[in-house]
């Protein structure tokens, strides 16, 4: 019955998309960078020449804070923009000369965050809760 309802199944799809892309970004990429911040701050990739520490701060903000917002469904479209920028930089600048296999994961994240930008959070999101 539940999956026969198009609006509900669509919103569950958005929920799975947000949990999958946002959750794995925080858990597998952002949190480890945050925990190893001191070790990485002098050697992190610096594609724009602003210093490795500044680049690391930007990527940790995107991969932890913005990805957590996407996961929760808070300001989802706005929070996806820094992630789109981060994944674009990873695909085309950091891994630009690498073989496709090396940039594939960042490209998949990029595609997922672009989809989230266009679709939004769906009904099962913190932004949609009503306490009236």
Query: Closest Cα to residue 50, out of 93, 113, 84?
Result: 93
Centroid of chain to Cα 8? 24
Give the pLDDT band (50/70/90) at residue 127. confident
CA R_g for the chain: 16
Which pLDDT tens digit goes with each residue over 14-50?
A: 999 999 999 999 999 999 999 999 999 999 999 999 9
For the chain, domain boundaries: 14-123
The pLDDT of residue 8: 85
Residue 129's CB is within 10 A of a number of other CB atoms, namely 9
Residue 37's CB is within 10 A of a number of other CB atoms, namely 14
Which pLDDT tens digit goes with each residue over 100-111?
A: 999 999 999 999
Burial class (CB in 10 A: 0-12, 13-18, 19+), 44: buried
pTM of the model: 0.92
């Amino acid at each position: 019955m539940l999956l026969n309802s198009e609006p509900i199944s669509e919103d569950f799809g958005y929920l799975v998309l947000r949990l999958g892309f946002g959750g794995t970004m925080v858990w597998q990429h952002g949190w480890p960078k945050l925990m190893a911040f001191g070790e990485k701050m002098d050697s992190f990739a610096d594609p724009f020449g602003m210093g490795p520490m500044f680049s690391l701060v930007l990527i940790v903000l995107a991969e932890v804070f913005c990805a957590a917002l996407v996961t929760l469904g808070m300001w989802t479209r706005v929070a996806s923009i820094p992630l789109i920028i981060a994944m674009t930089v990873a695909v085309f600048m950091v891994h630009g000369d690498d073989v496709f296999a090396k940039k594939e994961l960042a490209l998949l994240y990029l595609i997922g965050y672009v989809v989230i930008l266009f679709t939004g959070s769906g009904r099962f999101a913190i932004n949609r809760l009503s306490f009236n």
